[in-house]
Amino acid sequence: MGTLKNLKTADPEIYKAIRNELKRQRNSLEMIASENCASINVLNTLGTVLSNKYSEGYPKKRYYAGNEFIDVIETIAIERAKSLFKVPHANVQPLSGAPANFAVYAALCKPGDTIMGLNLSDGGHLTHGWKTNVTGEFFKSVPYHVKENGYIDIEEARRLAVENKPKLIWIGATAYSRELPFEEFAKIADECGAYLVADIAHIAGLVAGGAHKSPVDYVHIVTTTTHKTLRGPRGAMIMVTDRGLRKDPELAEKIDRSVFPGFQGGPHDNVTAAIAVALLEASRPEFAEYASQIVKNSKALAQGLISNGLRIVTDGTDNHLILVDLTPFGKGKGVFAQEALELGGIIINKNTVPKEQSSSFYPSGIRLGTPAITTRGMKEEEMKVIAKLIADVIGQIKGYEMPDDKEGRAQYLKKFRKEIKRNAAIKTCRERVEELCDRFPLYPELRV
């Protein structure tokens, strides 16, 4: 990060964009559930000479020379992952979550095999077999769903697994606010002979910090990104459990071959080192306190939103995220809420809700998360303030209705954006947000 002063002269356009992005992050409440604020040590590690190296292969088994110290770094990252998550094998080379998940498919499945995962609009992830993702095209996807109360329908999942005999079952989500039922899905996988894979990309930091049950005793493989609640760089890991090795003693080797040379070339060594730094940070007692506070904040925020008249899917949360269902105000309200809240300095994302009446482009909900604002030091009292601000802004968009006519949507959104910029309540929200951000500064040590 110290080289940015030189960048100001060398490339003023990029320097200005980076500086403005830092300003945006400092002056906004980052509440997208899949985002966080990595530590200064993680950020500094990313900008090192490690970016110069090519390291195809694995420690002591490289295709290129000059990897003596890269081997040291990757081995440290592997051992820290194994220790933190209590697994016998870890691969820290996947470039992000989707490639990590696809590497698992490549290791275990053939095109046309049956797979199961949580349906996308019920809170699942694209790579768990959604129809527009390659996983839904290459494999026969049989999704399971949530019940009317928003909780995963375990009985439906069991029935579908018995009927369809999937090769692989995913237990994991991207917009599901309750504790994942690992033990129940382990019984289902055993009953139909499937591999069970936990995608803990969203909750890895909670698992590491003891704020969410670990899947390790119940599944065969664990995949995760490293930049969400784990608060590291944008990377991923695949871990094999003891249970996985009992099912298939060659499972670790299959995963490693699938990552390289099967699915990708050289790893990003600067990211590997930053993952190692993040794993060390996550092993410390203060990280456990942080993970616990994420959940406390999420619960307080959910209760605050409910108290202010908003509907929360499952009526609460067990983890870091909250899914707000705006269908009581009409379908397709998510895009209006997302843009209005961004103007107010609160960054969230539009999101589908169970039994979605609209589409993924114009969904009827929004997804909120507390990892980044917890990183800034905010606690339950701030959640009450933020809940009121969110509810006030959403109150300003109730009168807007997305046209059914696709041709008329662009013009309607243009009109909405013009009007909402002049909204006094949203301007007040922005002022309150900036006051809150000043009290909980982000990266005060950075001088850009």
Determine which one of 114, 224, 225, 352 is catalytic: 225
45 in active site: no
400 in active site: no
199 in active site: yes
Determine which one of 234, 247, 384, 398 is catalytic: 234
228 in active site: yes
148 in active site: no
Determine which one of 26, 62, 228, 350 is catalytic: 228
35 in active site: no
Determine which one of 74, 199, 325, 356 is catalytic: 199
The tokens for 40 are 């200064």
Determine which one of 15, 35, 56, 388 is catalytic: 56
Determine which one of 15, 19, 35, 54 is catalytic: 54
Point out the residues that are catalytic: 54, 56, 199, 225, 228, 234
